[in-house]
Amino acid sequence: MEYYNYIKSLHLIFVITWFAGLFYIVRLFVYQIEANDKISPEKEILQKQYKIMTYRLWYIITWPSAILASLFAIWLLILMPAWLQMPWMHVKLGFVVILIAYQLKCHQIYNQLQNNIFNHSSNFMRLWNEGATLILFAVVFLVILKNAFNWIYGVLGIFLFSIVIMLGFKFYKRIRENNKS
């Protein structure tokens, strides 16, 4: 138990770098998709650079952070098995499963873009980028409050936060479109 705080600190550091990687990778997807609409030679130059950047981010930061955050989390659960009896931990682990599914979907998109397959628009990617934000908000509040919160307030809060994000996205999209004119 003397190493508990070190393990917890390392878990938190790798959770932060994991989320940083997820936030940035989708932003790079947006740029890569938008670069596909450019004319030559700009298109090829940008595509090549974004492929390098996404590769490095994905395999040097994001995946290793996800694995290390998970390993340190398992270690913490071994040290504190009573946490597995707490309802808030069950909910947190549910969000972790959703986060892993989100990362696996990002990995699928990453592979498609590395092979010049563009199945999504940049606007879709901008919205997709908010998925990690919603998961982060839910997990942080859950861990800090250590309560599976009152589900009515929790669901309402996440729903309202999602509406605010959507409105912000529409506002930003309007500004971008006006600046193009």
Q: What separation, in Å, do the N-terminal and C-terminal C-alpha atoms of the chain show? A: 62
CA–CA separation, 107 vs 89, rounded Å? 26
* Half-sphere exposure of residue 87: CA atoms within 13 angstroms, side-chain side: 6
Would the annotation count 8 as a binding residue? Answer: no
Would the annotation count 90 as a binding residue? Answer: no
Least Cα distance to 17 among 61, 75, 57, 54 occurs for 61
Supply 130's token pair: 């908010």
Supply 37's token pair: 């609409």
Tell me the binding residues: 11, 92
Residues tagged in the binding site annotation for heme: 11, 92
